Chains A and B, each alone.
Chain A
Amino acid sequence: MSLAALFFYLFAAVAVASAFMVIASRNPVHSVLFLILTFVNAAGLFILIGAEFLAMLLVVVYVGAVAVLFLFVVMMLDVDFVELRQGFLQYLPVGALVGLVFLAELVLVFGSWTFGEGVTGAVLPAAAGVSNTVQIGRVLYTDYVYFFQAAGLVLLVAMIGAIVLTLRHKTNVKRQSIPVQNARTKAAAIDVVKVPSGKGL
């Protein structure tokens, strides 16, 4: 067994096991942590097939951003996950049935799959000595620059939209103003009052 095969089985086994733990663990925070483990192992699998750019993207985007966001949501939302989980086993037969149907479909597809004439020849061979990242960059910023820019504008609209629909300027909120704080002097801040004894203010 070669080293690559060894690592494949290692990553694959851990990925499947941690994916199972995502749905099986009782604590939702543990679920998210297992999800992160699954992502990292999937990234390892990507590296094994030579897609190092996708692997890094998976770690940066999914682990770095999405999973951490999940973690925030899970920890901040007051959802009773124990109650949500009631009847988990009850749905197991249906879920297993759906899984089996998918498995059967996959077997059928892979069993009968044939490439059309000339399709395999149409796949571009990887250029020698150029990494994936460089290749994607070359295509993304030349042939697809129009779509790249358009996608940027779509994201800009999404950002503006989120701000337009949710941001509210509250008027009666006291905000900290550091220059005002620094400008306060002893004379302005302290008022010495003579209190006659026995009378109070």
Chain B
Amino acid sequence: MIFTLSALGPALPELLLAVSAVILILFGAIAGPKSTDTVNGLALAAIFAALVLVILGPSEATLFNGSFQLDAYARFLKVLALLAAGSTLAMSVDWLKVEKQARFEFAILVILSTLGMMMLISAGDLIALYMGLELMSLALYVVAANNRDSVRSTEAGLKYFVLGALSSGMLLYGASLIYGFTGSVNFLHIAAAAQEPTLGLIFGIVFIFAGLCFKVSAVPFHMWTPDVYEGAPTPVTTFFAGAPKVAAMAVFVRVAIEALPHVVHQWQQIVVFVSIASMLLGSFAAIGQRNIKRLMAYSSIGHMGYALVGLAAGTEQGVRGVLVYMTIYVAMTLGTFACILSMRRKEGMVENYDDLAGLARTSPVKAFLLAALMFSLAGIPPLAGFLAKYYVFLAAIQAGLYTLAVIGVLSSVVGAFYYLRIVKVMYFDEPAEAFEPMPTELRAVLGIAGLFTLLFFVYPAPLLAAAGAAARALF
């Protein structure tokens, strides 16, 4: 077999990220702590270059005996994950510097984690899935404890690490069962072998899904989320809420649809249960939260529940719904976290939602955009969040899952309470002390995310078409 380097072309974005991480670590180690700004800039450039390569690169390819597959689905999600990771990195730089937590390793760990996400999104077999997942998570555990002098940050890192290792164990156990009962690790071969549900296969599916539910923080594997979100430094929380969720959801959908298409009825029950439980917990548990990072943690649990409604349908419509949902979720989350990152007073960061009191009078534009994002998170028409929910519920109804859709709509009504309470605090409460001015990159992210959620309904066709093409690639 003659092997040419050009055969690796489809994996060029991944190669670029891996090589740039290695070069940057060398550069940072030689140049010392003063090189942090340069490393951050170069890391951003690397993520941007990878984004360009994904967009311009080949649209379909299979590499490494099917372990790495590039299709419309993978490209769509890679673009989303890279956008989320890149904008998070851009938003973190200034914050970390002000809080004196800036280190050049942070950007490198973000790059390596993003590389893991891209491998995860492109995974074509169970080994690639596990390697990608570990690469992504291991870097996340470290950045969670980035502020190593703070007890809460180290606690967040340790808690995430221990529970993450447990979930990896479950995932591996499930993978070994599936390998044992189907005779292959490749998704397509598994699909060919798993024509009917055997007991061992079902056990394998349950364990793999448990591991993946942990990564998307779906109930009942969500326990780590609020503590880790609250304890980790806010830019790290922003990172957690965006790109890793996209990658984990991507591989969740790929395993379910691509590897297990003939046993839909078996895994559908799991996904329906997880989805209902996540939606309900996300709506009810957030009501008592005062810390806005904790609130966003419960909000993200709820949103993962809504996204899983699309997967529960198990149809092309449903997968398209998941993709649209994840895109809009990332936009809304990044926008909201841009606001949270700017909640800084002279004495330091504040994290309670009461601190937003009267924001409409102290900085009206920010309050307006944040209010739009909150309405959108609550799913109020005609904002983007409503359309996202509309597509997943539509797919669920078309698949005959009426109970799931009804529970989803009802829990979204309950969830609206705590989003609207933030709007009420901003618009009707007595103004608190004003925040420090927002850095430019936070303004940019908040502006783009806010306008996207406000104006998505005017011209949703391009995103719907791209998500539709991506979903078709799986069927």
A145–B64 touching, CB < 8 Å:
yes
Residues of A with C-beta under 8 A to B135: 150, 153-154, 157
Interface: B108 (CB within 8 A): yes
User: Nearest residue in B to A150 (C-beta to C-beta)?
Assistant: B131
Binary contact track A141-183/B, C-beta < 8 Å → 1, others 0: 0110111011101101110110111000100000000000000
- Bound CA–CA A147/B65 (angstroms): 11
B132–A150 touching, CB < 8 Å:
yes
Residues of A with C-beta under 8 A to B132: 150
| Nearest CB of chain B from residue A95's CB, rounded to whole Å | 25
A153–B18 touching, CB < 8 Å:
yes
B112–A156 touching, CB < 8 Å:
yes
Take A147-B127, A160-B109, A164-B105 as given contacts and tell me if A154 and B138 are in contact as well, using a CB distance cutoff of 8 Å.
yes
B139–A157 touching, CB < 8 Å:
yes
Interface: B336 (CB within 8 A): no
Take A147-B67, A165-B145 as given contacts and tell me if A158 and B127 are in contact as well, using a CB distance cutoff of 8 Å.
no
Chain A contact surface mostly: helix
- The contact of B142 among A150, A151, A154, A164, by CB within 8 Å, is A164
- The contact of A165 among B1, B22, B65, B142, by CB within 8 Å, is B142
Residues of A with C-beta under 8 A to B108: 160
Interface: B146 (CB within 8 A): yes
Residues of B with C-beta under 8 A to A142: 1
A146–B67 touching, CB < 8 Å:
yes
Residues of B with C-beta under 8 A to A145: 64
- The contact of A146 among B105, B128, B139, by CB within 8 Å, is B128
A157–B63 touching, CB < 8 Å:
no
A-contacting residues, B29-73, CB 8 Å: 33, 63-65, 67-68
- The contact of B112 among A143, A146, A149, A157, by CB within 8 Å, is A157
| Nearest CB of chain B from residue A184's CB, rounded to whole Å | 27
| Nearest CB of chain B from residue A128's CB, rounded to whole Å | 21
A161–B146 touching, CB < 8 Å:
no
B contact residues, range: 20 to 34
Binary contact track B142-177/A, C-beta < 8 Å → 1, others 0: 100110100000000100000000000000000000
Interface: B103 (CB within 8 A): yes
B134–A154 touching, CB < 8 Å:
yes
Interface: B115 (CB within 8 A): yes
Residues of A with C-beta under 8 A to B127: 147
Binary contact track B4-29/A, C-beta < 8 Å → 1, others 0: 00000000000000100110010000
Interface: B119 (CB within 8 A): yes
User: Nearest residue in A to B104 (C-beta to C-beta)?
Assistant: A164
- The contact of A161 among B1, B65, B109, B119, by CB within 8 Å, is B109
Take A154-B135, A165-B145 as given contacts and tell me if A146 and B109 are in contact as well, using a CB distance cutoff of 8 Å.
no
Residues of B with C-beta under 8 A to A156: 21-22, 25, 112
| Nearest CB of chain B from residue A97's CB, rounded to whole Å | 26
B131–A163 touching, CB < 8 Å:
no
| Nearest CB of chain A from residue B43's CB, rounded to whole Å | 13
- Bound CA–CA A161/B164 (angstroms): 16
A157–B145 touching, CB < 8 Å:
no
Residues of B with C-beta under 8 A to A149: 18
Binary contact track B169-187/A, C-beta < 8 Å → 1, others 0: 0000000000000000000
Q: Interface residues, chain A, CB within 8 Å of chain B? A: 142-143, 145-147, 149-151, 153-154, 156-158, 160-161, 163-165, 169
Known: A153-B18, A153-B115, A164-B146. 12 other contacts (CB 8 A): A143-B64, A147-B131, A150-B119, A150-B128, A150-B131, A154-B135, A156-B21, A156-B22, A157-B138, A158-B138, A161-B138, A164-B109
A-B contact pairs, 14 of them (CB 8 A): A146-B67, A150-B128, A153-B21, A153-B116, A156-B21, A157-B135, A157-B139, A157-B142, A160-B105, A160-B108, A163-B105, A165-B142, A165-B145, A169-B33
Q: Interface residues, chain B, CB within 8 Å of chain A? A: 1, 18, 21-22, 25, 33, 63-65, 67-68, 103, 105, 108-109, 112, 115-116, 119, 127-128, 131-132, 134-135, 138-139, 141-142, 145-146, 148, 157
